[in-house]
Amino acid sequence: MTDPDFNLLVALDILLAEASVAGAARRLNLSTSAMSRTLSRLREVTGDPILVRAGRQMREGLVDLEIGVQSNMGPEIRLQRLFEDRFVGAVRKGHPLAALPAVSLEDYVAWGHVVTAPNGSSHGFVDDALAARGMKRKIASVVPGFPTALSVALASDLIAMVPALYLLNQPMSENVHIFELPFNTRTITVSQMWHPRMEQDPGHRWLREKVLAVCHQSRHR
């Protein structure tokens, strides 16, 4: 039996505590690249995809399947495209913006915003588009998902931004006023994502197939 590498054990302990290669590198006074090599060695030795870059909840097994617009989940996370969509603005019925024939940039930044940010970062392409025009929006709330963003908007005067297709068959849709955003937005791809450990699980595979089928049926109605 090969003697254990105690340096690797120390590195493993710190990696799990920090849940971050950069954080562990700082504690061990190593470069990020050196810490990444250590992590690769740990994965090889243990046969376990330690610290897959999927966000804390996926790493800890708290999320079986995540559906959304993601581009920074890391190369290890499995991803399957469900459909393409576009963003629209959403406010409650009776909101002053709902009375306008079109929402201008000035109208858009005059009100507070609830922002969907699964990773906790409130800055996004909307802020870049506004900054290019010398404008800035007022972010009043940051939430992890579109359902929460829409709920907050319906209970306040805040503006939410949601995928247009998300509103299909939503029970709250009759209380929402939708408007075209006053700037160009990219087409978004909504995907389902899961941890590699769930790849071969029969129940999980069944769930993914059902989600994919439902999305395809909805798109072709």
Does 62 have pLDDT greater than 70? no
- Cα separation of 129 and 59, whole Å? 33
* Least confident interval from 40-54, 103-117, 118-132, 141-155: 40-54
| Highest mean predicted confidence (pLDDT) among 25-29, 50-54, 205-209 | 205-209
Does 19 have pLDDT greater than 90? no
pLDDT at res. 37: 86
On the question of a common fold for 55-86+187-221 and 90-184, the answer reads yes
Q: Which CATH architecture has domain 90-184?
A: 3-Layer(aba) Sandwich (3.40)
- Cα separation of 39 and 56, whole Å? 17
pLDDT at res. 110: 97
Burial code (b: 16+ CB inside 10 Å, e: under 16) for 25-36 equals: beebebeeeebe
| Domain 55-86+187-221, classified CATH 3.40.190.10, yes or no | yes
Q: In degrees rounded to 5, what are phi and psi of residue 203?
A: -65, -40
pLDDT at res. 13: 66
Model confidence band, residue 130 (pLDDT cutoffs 50, 70, 90): very high
Could you state, in order of their start, the residue ranges of all structural domains in the chain?
1-51, 55-86+187-221, 90-184
- Mean pLDDT of the 181-205 span: 88
Cβ pair 171, 144 in contact under 8 A: no
- Cα separation of 213 and 218, whole Å? 9
pLDDT at res. 219: 60
Checking 129-132 for CB contacts under 8 A at 24+ apart, the result is 129/183, 129/184, 129/185, 130/105, 130/183
Q: Which CATH architecture has domain 1-51?
A: Orthogonal Bundle (1.10)
- Cα separation of 76 and 5, whole Å? 26
- Mean pLDDT of the 148-174 span: 83
Predicted confidence (pLDDT) per residue in 32-44, tens digit: 888 888 888 877 7
pLDDT at res. 33: 84
pLDDT at res. 56: 55
Average pLDDT, the chain: 81
- Cα separation of 144 and 154, whole Å? 16
pLDDT at res. 88: 95
Q: What is the pTM of this model?
A: 0.61
3-state SS assignment for residue 160: strand
- Mean pLDDT of the 108-118 span: 91
Bridge partners of 115, per DSSP, are 142
